[in-house]
Amino acid sequence: MGVLPVPADATPWPTNTNALLSRTAFVELAYPKKAWAAEEREMAMRGFVAAVQEGWDNPNGSQQAIRIVRFAHEDGTTSAWDEVMSGWERQYRGSLLTDSVIGAVGWSSPTLDSAGYAVAEWAVAVGDWLIFADEYTAAPRDPAPAAKMLLRKQYDRLTAVS
């Protein structure tokens, strides 16, 4: 699906499969167990085709991940995008970030969470694709710029080959 390769100096996550994820595998990866049945139905109605996730640990102690989801048609992508945006708008009221160059939206929490990470996530819808890029850093700094850069690299790679 055109996912960026894990950087040469990074350590891939043990959960990387280097393979496409089925609808069930993706739902179980991306959603809490209590939502699996509903999300399976939603993804089927949206025309889920496949997904991929790759994550890695960087030498500086940060972690990054990319998720790409493909739908059979743009209506499915739009429906999934609307769900993501609705959830983010409820959870991160007034603090969403935007990238007007590629139409991406993101959020960032530079405060360390219970696992000891500052977290940022960006997403963009491109045709029948959804791309997500995440950054986790143990330093109390804003992880949004690194996640945004990762998303743009993945966006450029995907749009160059599609």
pLDDT tens digits, 13-23: 998 877 899 99
Measured CA distances, 74 to 102, 125, 160 (Å): 17, 9, 18
Which CATH code, of 3.30.413.10, 3.20.20.210, 3.40.1000.70, 3.40.109.10, is assigned to 11-161? 3.40.1000.70
pLDDT, tens only, 48-101: 999 999 999 999 999 999 999 999 999 999 999 999 999 999 988 778 999 999
d(CA 128, CA 58): 30
pLDDT, tens only, 47-63: 999 999 999 999 999 99
pLDDT of residue 92: 85
Q: Which residue intervals of the chain are DSSP H helices? A: 23-30, 36-46, 74-91, 144-161
pLDDT of residue 162: 57
Burial of 34 (0-12, 13-18, 19+ CB in 10 A): exposed
